[in-house]
Amino acid sequence: MPNMFEVYQSYSDLYDELVNHEDYNNNLYKFLNNNIQWENKIVGEFGIGTGRVTKNYIDKAQKVFVYDNSQNMIDKAKINLSKWSDKIEYSILDNKQINSVENKFDIIIEGWSFGHLVVQDNETRAQTIQMLIKETTKRADKVIFIETMGTNVESSNPPGEKLAQFYHALVDNGFKEYIIETDYKFSNHEEAGRIMGGFFGDSMKNDIIQRKLEIIKEFTGIWIYN
């Protein structure tokens, strides 16, 4: 079974199938459109993946510059977002290199991407967190970070100390925190186990199959800096 990073590099269809089942109540769309003015804005999106976040605002935005370090994910995003190809510019970029981005934006957004860098960086995590905050807030008037607050759990909490450190730092640096539910829904528990397990691993798969779950809870944190 591929790990998450192998999924991003080579199995974007599997990832896309997963996120297509997430947020069946459309809460992310409602939140982003009730709270953010996207009309005519220049947007920068980091870690675009297959374009799931982009779809929420692309109709209204004027121009969108998107980044990811996986060509495989970008190729799938290009298919998913082909309707809007005239207003999207794609680039391969590692989140560590945000300082090389020359564009200025009205809004920067990232979804479930910066958290990977924070978790991986055991040596200089605090500096990496400060870099992500500094390099985004100086490039846009409004910055939106979206990260997990727990998958297949009963209440919202940062999954682990490393992400907790990240989320605390966001609040300490002036980001306002919101938490929404973006639960997954599948047609039956076998499908849920196959797709969730393909990304999150066997223990998630076994739990879903054993408890015959068709709806899997997901809590999502949204941090906004103005």
Looking at beta carbons only, is 71 or 210 nearer to ligand SAM? 71
Of the candidates 196, 166, 175, 179, the residue with the CA atom closest to the CA atom of residue 109: 175
Looking at beta carbons only, is 76 or 189 nearer to ligand SAM? 76
Q: How far is the CB of 210 from ligand SAM (least distance, A)?
A: 25
Q: Which residues bind ligand SAM (CB under 6 A)?
A: 8, 19, 47-49, 52-53, 68-70, 73, 94-95, 111-113, 116-117
Contact between residue 185 and residue 214 where contact means Cβ atoms under 8 Å apart:
yes
Looking at beta carbons only, is 51 or 193 nearer to ligand SAM? 51
Of the candidates 185, 173, 176, 181, the residue with the CA atom closest to the CA atom of residue 214: 185
Residue nearest to ligand SAM (CB): 49
Q: How far is the CB of 212 from ligand SAM (least distance, A)?
A: 26
Looking at beta carbons only, is 92 or 164 nearer to ligand SAM? 92
